[in-house]
Amino acid sequence: MPETIPPSTETVRELALSSLRRIGVVLPEGEGLHARTPITGETLFRLAATTAEEADLAVSDAVGAFETWRTTPAPARGVLVRRLGELLREHKNDLADLVTIEAGKIRSEALGEIQEMIDICEFAVGLSRQLYGRTIASERPGHRLAETWHPLGVVGVISAFNFPAAVWSWNTAVALVCGDTVVWKPSELTPLISLACSHLLDRAAADTGVPRDVHRLVLAGRDIGEMLVEDPRVALVSATGSTRMGRAIGPKVAARFGRTLLELGGNNASIVAPSADLDLALSGIVFAAAGTAGQRCTTLRRLIVHRDIADEMVDRVVAAYRKLPIGDPFSDSTLVGPLISRVAADAMTQALARAEAEGGKVLVGGDSRLSEEAPHASYVAPAVVRMPEQTAVVLEETFAPILYVLTYEDLDEAIALNNAVPQGLSSSIFTLDQREAERFLAADGSDCGISNVNIGTSGAEIGGAFGGEKETGGGRESGSDSWRAYMRRATNTVNYSSTLTLAQNVSFL
Ligand code: NAD
């Protein structure tokens, strides 16, 4: 497998400084946070973390800004988001560099992440004129029954390292046009891109005459995330990250009758049926399983192949894996960049050992790479493991590039395997048989929030609602009618007659 040598920490630091300078970010130097790059595994800058007092003030400021923002007409709120989209487009390359530097994404995927942000801004601007309520037929003469949608308040956005910018924009662009204000607690692993995004939104606010406090960034670890979770002034906590995190925060927000929008871990599968176009399936599988070094919530983690084609399909996947270029995410020839940390690499090693103990056979990958050139970084070869059945380790999300292969005989069995994990984010089937495709998409088919046909599990478009069921948390972000999660509904009955008629023919007085 070819390797591309990563640049030095000094080179990465210079690149980060140039991008930040062009965007206009001044780094808050101090203590509490390390801006680190997985490319070399070393620290680039030491930054001041937001204190508890500052975070408290950020929420107060966002509460204050909500007072005027909620009555600003929605199309006027869209003007702010349109300006943000323009600035993101202008700084697309610089922002993508920061995503590569902090999350380790290869260039094409980092650019894709910024494009996704531009797309959601465009979507949200359109949405700012389409926050529709319904008019409902009233049972009473001379009455109008309708529903209206109003802003919720402050939205606390807690985000994960692996989509350090896009997930923020999914939430923020939609929340802002809905009339909410936002306090963002990004992953402590990605402070630079967070500073850059927040700075561009501040600039957009200044350019459009909007109070800066409609959005506040708190740059800190999970302690400040916990503050947002406990704070009754935060109407909605939209949290993206591990199921462990969601399990910790969900009950706390529920206990104060706040709202949550949870986007948690996935354990995604693709079924490959005998009729499948295997060339198409191969491309879809390799991108979904090895792309982003297996660090997408929608990464393909389980391949469920029909017994008759399993050997051929697996041989082809293994052959493709042997050719995957690993290393410098800035190099155009690299397809697999670094894992975020040593902890992630250790989790992968442990999962592979468990898979072998549970009867699996590692067919390719799992070994670490570039240990001499970048001793503090974690480059690993994506692994394919053939499993005798869906054992305990396969039921867990290991956030690293491990593809478990299972076989099936009939489609019901394959769908049962797809659904027999605690998570329910993404799924797909490769088949040219329409009956199989429709069966997979039916009510007794895949139980996931995302079910695809003839593409892989990852790489969603912003126009659709994004999210999943079961331990994935049940939330929906991004497109379709996800905006409703950021607003409250009021049902209005207007009596324009001169008599007071009671519903259900009740008589009184
Ligand atoms: P993580 O759970 O470690 O951290 C995510 C965020 O939650 C961080 O900002 C962290 O500081 C914060 N946090 C953690 N515990 C908290 C607590 N108790 N209270 C408040 N805040 C807390 O996740 P990660 O390692 O950054 O990201 C990887 C995980 O995110 C994977 O499980 C992946 O599947 C998931 N993810 C899901 C989606 C989705 O849309 N479903 C998208 C991206 C990532």
My answer on whether 290 and 373 are in the same domain is yes
**Separation of alpha carbons 258 and 158, rounded Å:** 15
| Shortest-distance Cα residue to atom 35 of ligand 1 | 241
My answer on whether 306 and 436 are in the same domain is yes
Provide the H-helix boundaries in 137-276.
166-177, 191-208, 222-230, 243-255
Q: Please tell me the distance between residue 87's alpha carbon and the centre of ligand 1 in angstroms.
A: 27
- How would you classify the pairing of strands 143-151 and 135-136? antiparallel
My answer on whether 299 and 204 are in the same domain is no
Q: Would you say 146 and 492 are in contact if contact means Cβ atoms under 8 Å apart?
A: yes
- Whether 285 is covered by a domain: the verdict is yes
- Two tokens, residue 309: 């084609």
- Whether 22 is covered by a domain: the verdict is no
**Separation of alpha carbons 390 and 402, rounded Å:** 14
My answer on whether 206 and 313 are in the same domain is no
Q: What residues pair up with 464 in beta bridges, in sequence order?
A: none
Nearest Cα to Cα of residue 285 among 106, 109, 457, 113: 457
Which residue's entry shows tokens 């390799």? 286
My answer on whether 318 and 350 are in the same domain is yes
Burial tier of 121 (Cβ tally within 10 Å: 0-12, 13-18, 19+): buried
- Whether 499 is covered by a domain: the verdict is no
Q: Would you say 415 and 265 are in contact if contact means Cβ atoms under 8 Å apart?
A: no
- Whether 10 is covered by a domain: the verdict is no
Sign of the alpha-carbon dihedral angle for 499, 502, 503, 504: negative
Residue 121 known to be catalytic: no
CATH (domain of 348): 3.40.309.10
| Shortest-distance Cα residue to atom 9 of ligand 1 | 187
My answer on whether 260 and 280 are in the same domain is no
- Whether 218 is covered by a domain: the verdict is yes
Which residue's entry shows tokens 């391949």? 303
My answer on whether 343 and 451 are in the same domain is yes
Atom of ligand 1 nearest to the CA of 244: 2
**Separation of alpha carbons 371 and 367, rounded Å:** 10
- Two tokens, residue 248: 């910790």
Q: What contacts 24+ positions apart, CB below 8 Å, involve 186-189?
A: 186/159, 186/217, 186/219, 187/159, 187/160, 187/161, 187/241, 188/33, 188/220, 188/221, 188/222, 189/36, 189/102, 189/103, 189/161, 189/164, 189/340, 189/341
Catalytic residue (one of 263, 397, 471, 477) = 263
Domain count within the chain = 2
My answer on whether 153 and 287 are in the same domain is no
Residue 139 known to be catalytic: no
My answer on whether 284 and 235 are in the same domain is no
- Whether 509 is covered by a domain: the verdict is no
Which residue's entry shows tokens 């023919």? 505
Atom of ligand 1 nearest to the CA of 221: 11
- Whether 506 is covered by a domain: the verdict is no
- Whether 4 is covered by a domain: the verdict is no
* Mutation probe of ligand 1 site: the residue of 33, 105, 162 with most atoms within 8 A of C-beta: 162
Phi, psi of 3 (to 5 degrees): -130, 150
Q: pTM for the complete prediction? A: 0.97
Task: Provide, for the chain, the percentages of residues in helix, strand and coil under a 3-state DSSP scheme, each rounded to the nearest 5.
Answer: 40, 20, 35
Pocket of ligand 1 (CB under 6 A): 158-163, 167, 185, 187-188, 221-222, 225-226, 229, 240-242, 245, 248-249, 263-266, 297, 397, 399, 425, 472
Q: Please tell me the distance between residue 138's alpha carbon and the centre of ligand 1 in angstroms.
A: 45
**Whole domain around residue 407: which residue ranges?**
268-466
* Mutation probe of ligand 1 site: the residue of 120, 168, 185, 242 with most atoms within 8 A of C-beta: 242
Which residue's entry shows tokens 């323009």? 86
My answer on whether 201 and 328 are in the same domain is no
- How would you classify the pairing of strands 135-136 and 42-48? unpaired
Secondary structure E strands in 356-458: 361-364, 368-369, 379-380, 383-386, 402-408, 423-424, 426-430, 450-453
The pLDDT profile of the chain, 509 residues, written as one tens digit per residue, is 679 999 999 999 999 999 999 999 999 989 999 999 999 999 999 999 999 999 999 999 999 999 999 999 999 999 999 999 999 999 999 999 999 999 999 999 999 999 999 999 999 999 999 999 999 999 999 999 999 999 999 999 999 999 999 999 999 999 999 999 999 999 999 999 999 999 999 999 999 999 999 999 999 999 999 999 999 999 999 999 999 999 999 999 999 999 999 999 999 999 999 999 999 999 999 999 999 999 999 999 999 999 999 999 999 999 999 999 999 999 999 999 999 999 999 999 999 999 999 999 999 999 999 999 999 999 999 999 999 999 999 999 999 999 999 999 999 999 999 999 999 999 999 999 999 999 999 999 999 999 999 999 999 999 999 999 999 999 999 999 999 999 999 999 999 999 999 999 999 98
Q: What is the DSSP letter of 336?
A: B
My answer on whether 255 and 389 are in the same domain is no
**Distances in Å between the alpha carbon of 182 and those of 178, 394, 476?**
11, 37, 18
My answer on whether 203 and 344 are in the same domain is no
Catalytic residue (one of 121, 178, 197, 297) = 297
Q: Please tell me the distance between residue 237's alpha carbon and the centre of ligand 1 in angstroms.
A: 13
CATH (domain of 87): 3.40.605.10
Q: Exposure pattern of 146-172 as b/e (b: 16+ CB <10 Å)?
A: eeebebbbbbbbbbbbbbbbbbbbbbb
DSSP string, 394-411: GGS--SSSEEEEEEESSH
